[in-house]
């Protein structure tokens, strides 16, 4: 996909047919565009799914498409927005820092950290290492050797165990197991490698042009202003919002197309309505069972976001905890953590 293109050809045709009179909305509490990106350190493997606001305040969902070049993503979305338009952009990498890590490093806000990382005194922050420090915390380097890497990371950063480096939203909930530590970079559940690329190549270069929820305000307030609002989404959390059961303990594997097909067989019927419609290419993609787990996760992330945007689900930040709103952040649509 060219750096200057955004919609796939099939998505563009569906938009032309169904949204012949797209809203040039001045009612900016509803974003013109909603996007969920399932992240990958390799831009060729990342997928994103988009929905556009159409007449009668309905969102039209398009099929998945490649994320493309990381460094141009924000610009490509900006060029798709109408004048004074708003986009809600969800990433499935962590957006925020563990409270105890921030306290130990003297970082008082997420934006302060994002501005510091990679700069003077923090030059090696984004470089993964087998000898992690507080200012170079991403660990370990790729390896196939077995080891007690989680404890090694915790001890190297001065903590008793890695649970102390979990954000509140990372912890186990009543509906799903816990997420991984922000800085951990090994195994199928690791999120650190995605955070490195997402923070350094996408968020930090554009931080003056984007707004972060919940750090910069309540979601409804942020969506009343033109531009891009960035949120964190988590596929396993999104599954619980959509009634999807797949993964360990369910008998269904996200890696098998037939299992993805079975797990989301109810989604088209359950989600359609309430301000959400599917283009024909998107319907076909879902019914077929997706190309791989990445485009599956991007679609489920988007549908979860649309539940929030259309008022079917609360954004979910549980209280006025100052650490959530300044340092740690929150997963969109998540209600609580144990």
Place of tokens 């302060």: 112
**CATH class of residue range 9-94+204-309:** alpha beta
240 vs 307: CA distance, rounded Å: 12
Which pLDDT does position 41 carry in this prediction?
66
89 vs 77: CA distance, rounded Å: 9
CA count, 13 A, side-chain hemisphere, 326: 12
Per-residue model confidence as pLDDT tens digits over 187-210: 888 899 999 999 999 999 999 999
DSSP state of 169: G
Residue 228 · residue 87 · CB < 8 Å: yes
- Rg of the chain in Å (alpha carbons): 19
Which pLDDT does position 40 carry in this prediction?
73
Place of tokens 């996408």: 202
Nearest to 328 by CA among 165, 208, 132: 165
Which pLDDT does position 14 carry in this prediction?
34
Print pLDDT tens along the chain (338 aa): 333 334 443 333 333 333 333 333 334 489 999 999 998 766 567 899 999 999 888 999 999 999 999 999 999 999 999 999 999 999 999 999 999 999 999 999 999 999 999 999 999 999 999 999 999 999 999 887 888 999 999 999 999 999 999 999 999 988 888 899 999 999 888 899 999 999 999 999 999 999 999 999 999 999 999 999 999 999 999 999 999 999 888 899 999 999 999 999 999 988 888 899 999 999 999 999 999 999 999 999 999 999 999 999 999 876 678 899 999 999 999 986 54
Residue 91 · residue 235 · CB < 8 Å: no
Question: What separation, in Å, do the N-terminal and C-terminal C-alpha atoms of the chain show?
Answer: 42
Which pLDDT does position 7 carry in this prediction?
41
CATH 3.30.420 boundaries in the chain: 9-94+204-309
Residue 86 · residue 171 · CB < 8 Å: no
Does residue 112 have a cis bond before it (omega within 30 degrees)? no
> How does strand 33-38 pair with strand 47-54?
antiparallel
Over the range 226-251, which residues count as b (16 or more CB within 10 Å of their CB) and which as e?
A: ebbbbbbbbbbbbbbbbebebbeeee
Which pLDDT does position 163 carry in this prediction?
93
Task: Return phi, psi of residue 261, to 5°.
Answer: -60, -45
């Amino acid at each position: 996909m060219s750096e200057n293109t955004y919609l796939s050809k099939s998505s563009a045709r569906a938009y032309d047919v169904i949204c012949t009179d797209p809203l040039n909305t001045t009612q900016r509490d509803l974003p013109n565009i909603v996007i969920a990106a399932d992240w990958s350190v390799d831009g060729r493997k990342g997928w994103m799914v988009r929905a556009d606001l159409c007449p009668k305040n309905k969102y039209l969902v398009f099929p998945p498409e490649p994320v493309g070049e990381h460094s141009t993503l924000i610009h490509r979305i900006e060029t798709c927005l109408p004048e004074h338009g708003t986009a809600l952009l969800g990433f499935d990498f962590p957006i925020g820092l563990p409270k105890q890590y921030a306290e130990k490093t003297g970082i008082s806000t997420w934006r302060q950290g994002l501005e510091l990382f990679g700069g003077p005194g923090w030059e090696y922050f984004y470089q993964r290492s087998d000898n992690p420090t507080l200012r170079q915390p991403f660990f370990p380097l790729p390896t196939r050797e077995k080891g007690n890497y989680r404890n090694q990371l915790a001890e190297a950063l001065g903590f008793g165990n890695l649970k102390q480096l979990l954000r509140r939203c990372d912890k186990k909930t009543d509906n799903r197991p816990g997420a991984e530590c922000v800085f951990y970079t090994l195994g199928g559940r690791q999120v650190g490698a995605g955070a490195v690329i997402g923070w350094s190549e996408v968020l930090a270069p554009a931080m003056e042009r984007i707004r972060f929820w919940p750090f910069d305000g309540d979601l409804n307030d942020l969506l009343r202003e033109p531009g891009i609002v960035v949120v964190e989404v988590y596929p396993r959390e999104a599954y619980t919002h959509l009634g999807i059961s797949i993964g360990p303990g369910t008998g269904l594997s996200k890696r098998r197309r037939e299992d993805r097909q079975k797990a989301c067989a109810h989604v088209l019927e359950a989600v359609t309505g309430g301000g959400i419609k599917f283009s024909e290419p998107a319907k076909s993609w879902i019914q077929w069972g997706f190309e791989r787990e990445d485009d599956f996760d991007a679609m489920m992330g988007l549908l979860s976001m649309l539940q929030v945007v259309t008022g079917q689900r609360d954004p979910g930040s549980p209280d006025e905890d100052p650490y959530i709103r300044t340092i740690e952040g929150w997963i969109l649509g998540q209600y609580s953590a144990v």
